[in-house]
Structures are given as structure tokens and as C-alpha cells.
Structure 1
Amino acid sequence: MTFQPVTHLRHFALAVPDFERQRAFFRDTWGLTEVADDSGLAFFAAEGSPEQYVVRVRKDRQKRMDLVAFGAGSVADVDRLATELIAAGVALVREPGPMDTPGGGYGLRFFDPDGRVVEVSADVATRTHRRIEEREAIPVRLSHCVVNSRQPERLRDFYARHLGFRLTDTLYSDHMGDLMYFMRCNRLHHSFAIARGPHVSLHHASFEMRGVEEYMRGTGRALRAGTRLTWGPGRHLAGDNTFSYFHDPHGNTVEYTTELAILDEDLWHPGRHDVDDPMVQDQWGTADPMSESVAKDQFNDPDVLFTAPPV
């Protein structure tokens, strides 16, 4: 059996120039709970998630995606992953060892082929979480993270070979080729996805709501707060999940979603979906059609590559 060290998505981390504005957005508009802060570093949890935090925000003069973090099954899996990465010539940012972030644990960091930092950890203490109530329009958990890559096929193969991700579905266009690979590390349709883009960057990060009612109420709250809606509300075909995409104060795309498909992995076969079919992008037909301008909104700014964040 192929080694599958990654069990789930933990969090993603951003660096931003306007720290206080970003901090207020995640707390007051997006519905996350600030659980820790330390002189220019803030951590945000989702009330329904056992993860210590799902977003980290760091103050910096330069905007960037600091890292994406995944959970591993055990300390032994973290050590084995490090050994296999080193043997494959992958550059480690931090060798396996104890972590000093909220919840502790044992983990490592490395550069993926695009130059973004990836963290994989085990034995992180869980956070006391709770059931999200009916009509309570705050995120239950971090659903998935999508990145832009100029070489998405190479990145897809790296995450499959080294982290054990499985390809779930592919979006394609007859004139542009493959445009997005949906990757899973558990029964959820995707926890990670790779989009074809003009440069390496964060495409979007998605937050799961309790249900469609809560998803629509959260969408409405963000709109009333003046947050820019870039696409949605709608419902994708791949993953069968709802979508409302917004820009945060620094132009990163964040999404409210719900009802992401849960697969029977023994029976699932990866599908190919043509983006020129309107039903692929939005089954409901409520969102604007996918266009060049909508796609550009998710390209984001070019990221800082092969440079580890200071924390």
C-alpha cells in the first residue's frame, strides 16, 4: 500500500502589511475566533473544529502565503516522511521535532516543488469545540485550500507521491487543457486542489458552514460588511459543494461553502469535467458565468518562494 502520511488539512498561514485590518476581518466579518496573539502574530479557530487554529496571520511589510499545514497519523509517519523527502532531494525547512505553536505536537516543514512551505505534524492537542447551532452563520471548520501553480501536473504528482494524496476529479478545457486537480487525503472530495495559474500563489481557502441556511446567512453578513463578492452564490459540480467567493482586505480569495461530497473511496473513479459546460461551474445557475475576469480574481499576487517565514 502506498504510504499516506497526511490525514487532513489543519490550517493555512498568511503574512499581511495591514495586520489589524486583516485580524478584524477574520474575527468580526468572517466569524472565526481569535484564540492567541503574540506581537504581530494572531491565530484563529473555527468554533466547530477540534483544530487549535485554522488560520494564522502574521504582520509583515510583504504580503505572502506563509505555509499550508496538514495533519499526519503519527510521529512515526512524520519521521518516515522526512526520511523519504530527504532521499528524494526535497529541501527541508525544519527537521522533525517538537513544535512551539498552539497545541504543540511534532512536525516538520519543507518546500514543495513550487517553493511554498508545507508543514506536516502529529500529536497536536485538540481544542475544545462545540456544535454549531441552527442559523449560526460561522465556519464549522476549514474545508480546503487551493493553490495556483504554473506546473500543476508536477505539483499533483509530488503531493500524490510524497504525501499520499489521491486525485479525485479534474477540471479541463478543450483549448487550455487541464485547469484544476482536486486532491483528497480522506473521504472528503478534496482537502487540497491545484489550479493552473500565471504564477505561484494562494488561489483560495474555503470554510465549511453548518448547512445551506447558515452558508447564505454568512454570505449575506459578508456582503453587508462591504466585503467584495467575486463569484457566487452557486453550487459546483465537482465536489457538489456550494460556493461564495470573497476577497479579504489584502485580495486573498476566501470562500464560504457547505455540503462538500463525502466519497466511498472503494467505488470512486476520478472524473473529468469540462469548464465550458455551465453545469460544471454552477449547477444552480445563480452565479455569474465563469469568465476571464472571474478567473483573474483568484490568481492573487505572486507569492514569495523558497523563503521560509520567520515563525
Structure 2
Amino acid sequence: MSAFTAHLDHLCIESANPQALAAFYGQAMQMQVLPQADDSYACEGRERRMVFCSGTAKALRYFAWNLPSPEALEATRNNVVAAGLDIAASPSPFFDDTAFAVRDPDGNLLVLGHDPADRTTRKGLPARLQHHAFGTTHIQPMLDFYTGVLGMTVSDNVYADDGSLRSSFLRAGTEHHILAIFVAPQCSFDHHCYEAGEWNLIRDWADLLSEQDILLDWGPGRHGPGNNLFFMIRDPDTNWLEISAELELCDASRPTGSWQHREKTLNSWGKAYLRS
């Protein structure tokens, strides 16, 4: 467990052609595309929803975490205010007006809200929107914010041979991570992931995507941190989209793990993409 509990609810990704990008996700990820009044496009499916808006391709406009109760949301707001950080209005089309937003040290906009709606009954293959990752040039201030201000827990760290920290995987509940942070040449949106649940669904998703001539870009493989099975594809803007299964579950007594910065840490089965 983690003292702070939340799950990834949705992302808003920028694109020069948000309509086309939304159409891709609608088809590939079995989501309904819903045009919005501000010319953005919301997509909703089985435990997954996204927003696509006009802007710079491969940029993340904001990401939204769903907290378990109104009380938890208010407590988190109080912690953010106590840390001296500015509160902004939520831009989310999915959350109500109790939601709020705050920027992390890299300027990423985090939206926090509470929505108890059950979306497990929608049609489509299981694949719950589960985590995303950032590249950063300043990993320690980012960790200080997510652990110190919000109360997340570090499940695993990855270290270079010289002892420098290269990446961290943070949880907000029992799942190994809902956020990964990598040291990179520049601050950037790295990827986002959908948790299918079990290995046979990795097969089913790969088959479904193959029917649409969407080829795997990386995998199948198994990550070290999180021990999850995975593959990745690219969307039309070349954003990485991951399908995962069997992500490790952690209890409060789990110590923070330590890994070596090498290909086998990111993929114990074969080739991997090292961010730096």
C-alpha cells in the first residue's frame, strides 16, 4: 500500500491533428470518440478514457488522478496548499468542480479529482488505463514533490554504475507504480500504459491490433521493476502506448527495490530502450 491512494483516470495529449489521433484511439483501443465544445476530443471505453487537444505533437497537456473519496481529495488539496503551491482550476471534462490542478517541479499539470462511476461494464477487451511516465532533467525535485507533498511511495529505483539515480517507480496504492520518472536529456512525456490483467489478454490485444495493421514497436517482454509482461506500439504521432499484464502488487511492508541501469532491467527477455 501507499499512504496516498489514487489511480490514473485520464490523460490529455496534444496533437497537430487531435481529431485523427482520437479516431486512432477510438478504433485501436475500443473507445467512443466524443467531440467537445472547445474542439478537443474525449474518448471513453472500458476503464479507460483520454482527451486529445490541439497543440504540439507528443506533448502532455495534463494528467488526471482519481482519488478514492471527497475526503481524500480535500486532504490532498490541504497538503498542496500547506506546501505553498498554487492551486489551479481543473481543465478536465470528466471531473466535477471539486477537482483541482497543481504543477509539479517540471511544470507538468496534475489534475486531482474524485469520480466514483463504474466503467467496468463497457464493451471491449479489458485494459484499464494504469500508468504513465515522464522524462526529466531534475529527478530529485520531482521525487520530493510526488513523495513529500503528495505522499506517494517509491517501489523501485534504478541506479547507474556510478551510483547516480536513473529512474524511479512510484505507487499510490497496491499497484507497483502509477508513475515512472526517468532521467532524460529533456523533460518530456515518455509513454502511457493500459493494464490488461493477464498474459492471454496480451495475446488478444496483439491480435486485435494486428487486424488493424498496427504492429508492435517493442516486445512482448517482461519488465524488471513491476515484473509485468508488456508490449508497446506507436500511435500516429509516435507516442508510445503500452499494453501490460500481471503488474506486481505491493503491500506497505515492501522495501524499496534497487536495480542496475541496463537493458535487462527494462526487459528481462531481450532488447530494451534505455532513456539515457
TM superposition score normalised by structure 1: 0.78
CA distance in structure 2 between the aligned counterparts of 1:147 and 1:153, rounded to whole angstroms: 13
CA distance in structure 2 between the aligned counterparts of 1:264 and 1:158, rounded to whole angstroms: 22
Aligned to 1:194: 181
Aligned with residue 91 of structure 1, among 86, 95, 112: 86
Aligned with residue 126 of structure 1, among 113, 117, 137: 117
In the TM superposition, residue 275 of structure 1 has moved relative to its aligned partner by 3.1
1:62-73 alignment, distance < 5 Å: 62-63=56-57, 64-73=59-68
Q: 8 Å contact 1:145–1:191 — kept in the other structure?
A: yes
1:25-36 alignment, distance < 5 Å: 25-29=24-28, 31-34=29-32, 36=34
CA distance in structure 2 between the aligned counterparts of 1:100 and 1:14, rounded to whole angstroms: 12
Q: 8 Å contact 1:6–1:120 — kept in the other structure?
A: no
Q: Structure 1: which 5+ runs fail to align?
A: 300-311
SS at match of 1:104: coil
Q: How many positions carry a matched residue from both structures?
A: 273
Is the aligned partner of 1:143 residue 2:134?
Answer: no
Aligned to 1:304: none
Q: 8 Å contact 1:78–1:108 — kept in the other structure?
A: no
Counting aligned pairs with the same residue, the percent is: 21
Is the aligned partner of 1:282 residue 2:273?
Answer: no
| RMSD of Structure 2 on Structure 1 (CA) | 2.6
Is the aligned partner of 1:269 residue 2:267?
Answer: no
Q: 8 Å contact 1:103–1:126 — kept in the other structure?
A: no
Instruction: Give the stretch that moved more between structures: 85-94 or 166-175.
Output: 85-94
1:29-108 alignment, distance < 5 Å: 29=28, 31-34=29-32, 36-39=34-37, 40-47=39-46, 49=47, 53-58=48-53, 60-63=54-57, 64-94=59-89, 101-102=93-94, 104=96, 106-108=98-100
In the TM superposition, residue 76 of structure 1 has moved relative to its aligned partner by 3.6
Aligned to 1:214: 201
SS at match of 1:221: helix
In the TM superposition, residue 35 of structure 1 has moved relative to its aligned partner by 5.7
CA distance in structure 2 between the aligned counterparts of 1:282 and 1:61, rounded to whole angstroms: 33
In the TM superposition, residue 175 of structure 1 has moved relative to its aligned partner by 4.6
CA distance in structure 2 between the aligned counterparts of 1:19 and 1:33, rounded to whole angstroms: 15
CA distance in structure 2 between the aligned counterparts of 1:253 and 1:277, rounded to whole angstroms: 18
In the TM superposition, residue 73 of structure 1 has moved relative to its aligned partner by 3.5
Q: 8 Å contact 2:26–2:33 — kept in the other structure?
A: no
Q: 8 Å contact 1:46–1:141 — kept in the other structure?
A: no
User: Cα distance 1:24–1:150, how it changes in 2: closer, same or farther (>3 A)?
Assistant: same
CA distance in structure 2 between the aligned counterparts of 1:239 and 1:115, rounded to whole angstroms: 27
CA distance in structure 2 between the aligned counterparts of 1:118 and 1:140, rounded to whole angstroms: 22
CA distance in structure 2 between the aligned counterparts of 1:18 and 1:153, rounded to whole angstroms: 35
Aligned to 2:106: 114
In the TM superposition, residue 224 of structure 1 has moved relative to its aligned partner by 4.9
User: Cα distance 1:13–1:139, how it changes in 2: closer, same or farther (>3 A)?
Assistant: farther
